Amino acid sequence: MFKKILVGIVLSIETEIMSFEVEGECDWMTAELEDGTVLAIKPYIGQIARVGYDPNTGVPIYAVGTGFQLRYISVQKRNHVFPELVKAKISGECPWINVKIDDGSILKVKPNIVSIVRIGVDPAGVPQYMIQIQAAIQVQKIPKELIKKPAHKTMMHT
């Protein structure tokens, strides 16, 4: 198996997709765009994967895949749009969501809207958007049997 070192973390190319349950969810958030368009966005947690282990602690590392539901509250139609990052005023925020993974781990996850990009228009002139959502993750519990012996010990020099 190939491994990749990324910012001091060992990531396996073979990720393990995990089953999980969530407690809580995001409410609809409003994004008022600079052109007058108003979007309603509801982020959700779509996937959890174990992607490797921290080489210093042996603790599993999880990646969270997010998605969103999108509704147009009001829209400014256009003939043609080149892809562009749009300024948006976001109202509301997602609370921390408790996630219980079937391996016994418990995470808290908070999806955050990072950017909105207008990527084009549909045949009716309605702008289409790509919305980037990034999840903050807090580890609440990792079962002891999931923790691997660290690959090496690090020493701090003073």
pLDDT in tens, 10-35: 555 578 999 999 999 999 999 999 98
Number of domains in the chain: 1
Between CA 92 and CA 102, with CA 96 as vertex, the angle to 5 degrees is 140
Q: Does 149 fall in a domain?
A: no
Do 55 and 89 touch, CB atoms closer than 8 A?
Answer: no
pLDDT in tens, 101-155: 999 999 999 999 999 999 999 988 889 999 999 999 999 999 999 998 876 555 5
Q: Does 152 fall in a domain?
A: no
Three-state DSSP state, 67: strand
Q: Does 155 fall in a domain?
A: no
Between CA 146 and CA 15, with CA 98 as vertex, the angle to 5 degrees is 40
Q: Does 158 fall in a domain?
A: no
CA distance 33 to 28: 16
Residue bearing tokens 């990531």: 11
Q: Does 151 fall in a domain?
A: no
CA distance 87 to 77: 17
Q: Does 101 fall in a domain?
A: yes
Residue 47 CB coordination number (10 Å): 13
Q: Does 150 fall in a domain?
A: no
What domain range is 39 assigned to? Answer: 3-143
